[in-house]
Amino acid sequence: MIGVVATLTVADGKGADLEAVFADLAAKVKANESGCLMYQLTKSRTEPNVYKVLELYASDEALKHHGSTDYFKAAGPGIGACLGGRPSIEYLDAV
Amino acid sequence: MIGVVATLTVADGKGADLEAVFADLAAKVKANESGCLMYQLTKSRTEPNVYKVLELYASDEALKHHGSTDYFKAAGPGIGACLGGRPSIEYLDAV
């Protein structure tokens, strides 16, 4: 299994937009990717404008498949438009 | 729902010990806590000796219950003995 923590920092006032775009994406991920065991957007309690996506994939293949889906690619511009800086993606090996 | 990212930095050579203690704890969490939707130990690919526990709880009550269980308290010393510094616990609100 592979864990991912994606840290997204939104521009001021763009939180609601991110949450809307992400809700649509997350619904498609959950409906289509049995190899995605968790895909949860969360909001930091301590850092304003910071969101973290907590993700868990059953395998490398499941993670690669996720990134290759049309709906994931289609959500990119909408998410990008909300961000105030580059996202940071951390990959972790489940043990 | 509440997300938690617990960052645990082990002392040199103590990774396997942490993984053993945690495997026992995680099994008890999964067997006893329906409100714990994810409880996964992961190892950083970029930072040596750094582990992150990715956790998701259905509610504040589920999170509080987790921390109050006997087996969680009993695992504390075993985990503590592996650490090379203070753990950092980040709480996040699922959106």
CB contacts of A44 in chain B (<8 Å) are 90, 92
Under-50 pLDDT residues of chain A: none
What was the pLDDT predicted at A24?
Answer: 97
Does residue B14 belong to the interface with chain A, where contact is any CB pair within 8 Å?
Answer: no
Burial A42-57 (b: 16+ CB within 10 A, else e): bbbeeeebbbbbbbbb
What is the arithmetic mean of pLDDT over B44-63?
Answer: 96
What is the arithmetic mean of pLDDT over B50-71?
Answer: 98
What was the pLDDT predicted at B46?
Answer: 93
Distance, in angstroms, between B19 CA and closest chain A CA?
A: 7
Residues 6+ apart with CB under 8 A from B52: A3, A5, A92, B5, B6, B7, B8, B41, B42, B44
What was the pLDDT predicted at B43?
Answer: 98
pLDDT, tens digit, 9 for 90 and up, residues B61-95 = 999 999 999 999 999 999 999 999 999 999 999 99
Q: Which of B15, B21, B54, B85 lies closest to A38, judged by CA?
A: B54
What was the pLDDT predicted at A66?
Answer: 98
Distance, in angstroms, between A51 CA and closest chain B CA?
A: 8
Residue B62 in tokens? 């589920």
Residue of B nearest to A18 (CA): B95
**Domains in chain B, ordered, with CATH?**
2-93 (3.30.70.100)
pLDDT, tens digit, 9 for 90 and up, residues B9-21 = 999 999 999 999 9
Residues B52, A92: C-beta atoms closer than 8 Å: yes
Residue B8 in tokens? 């645990």
Does residue A52 belong to the interface with chain B, where contact is any CB pair within 8 Å?
Answer: yes
Residues 6+ apart with CB under 8 A from B23: B41
Give the pairing of strands B36-44 and B50-57: antiparallel
Give the separation between CA B36 and CA B91, rounded to whole angstroms. 14
What was the pLDDT predicted at B87?
Answer: 95
What was the pLDDT predicted at B63?
Answer: 98
What was the pLDDT predicted at A25?
Answer: 98
ipTM over 0.90: yes
What was the pLDDT predicted at A78?
Answer: 97
Q: Which of residues 58-87 of B touch A (CB under 8 A)?
A: none
Residues A93, B42: C-beta atoms closer than 8 Å: yes
Give the separation between CA A83 and CA B82, rounded to whole angstroms. 38
